[in-house]
Structure 1
Amino acid sequence: MAELEDRWLSVGDICTYLGVSNDTVYRWIEKHDMPAHRVGRLWKFKKEQVDAWIEAGGAAESNEKGSGK
């Protein structure tokens, strides 16, 4: 099971893992420096890098913008 934890995740995988849409992930890559790596035309992710980015508040800005009253 450890080898699955260390594999590169696709956009679809990371969306499922985080519970967000493809559009959200692409926006985070473009505007919030989400840790992602280009492999040809595809984006790939390391789960531990994404977890660290979220824990550091990387996704917080987009959540705040969307939660206005």
Structure 2
Amino acid sequence: MANETKYNLPRVMTVKELSEYLRVHPSTIYKLLRRGELPGFRIGTDWRFNAEVIDRWCLERNMKAPDGGTSSQN
């Protein structure tokens, strides 16, 4: 039997798919991209987003309180 290497390609989303996933308007995605706040990459003129990176980004954003500290729930 030949040794086969299995690659798990990351799930990649378009702006439309990401806006549906985050439940925000596509213009919000573009605004976050312009500010450099959203992790994404370009393929030609189109933006793409790695789902795992976006999930991590969401978790990190939710852990930060508005004053820059970490949030705590009582």
- Give the distance between the partners of 2:36 and 2:45, measured in 1 at CA: 20
TM-score by length of 1: 0.69
What does 1:34-49 align with in structure 2 at a 5 Å threshold? Answer: 34-49=38-53
- Larger helix share, 1 or 2: 1
Higher RCO (CA-CA < 8 Å; seq separation 6+) = 1
The answer to whether the aligner puts 1:14 opposite 2:18 as a matched pair is: yes
Which segments of 5 or more consecutive residues in structure 1 lack a partner in the other structure?
61-69
| Number of residue-to-residue matches in the alignment | 56
Which segments of 5 or more consecutive residues in structure 2 lack a partner in the other structure?
1-7, 65-74
In the other structure, the counterpart of 1:52 is 56
RMSD, aligned α-carbons? 2.2
TM-score by length of 2: 0.65
Question: What amino acid is the match of 1:40?
Answer: G
Q: Residue 35 of structure 1: SS of its match in structure 2?
A: coil
- Give the distance between the partners of 2:57 and 2:38, measured in 1 at CA: 7
Q: Residue 57 of structure 1: SS of its match in structure 2?
A: helix
Which has the larger Rg? 2
Query: Percent identity between the aligned chains?
Result: 27
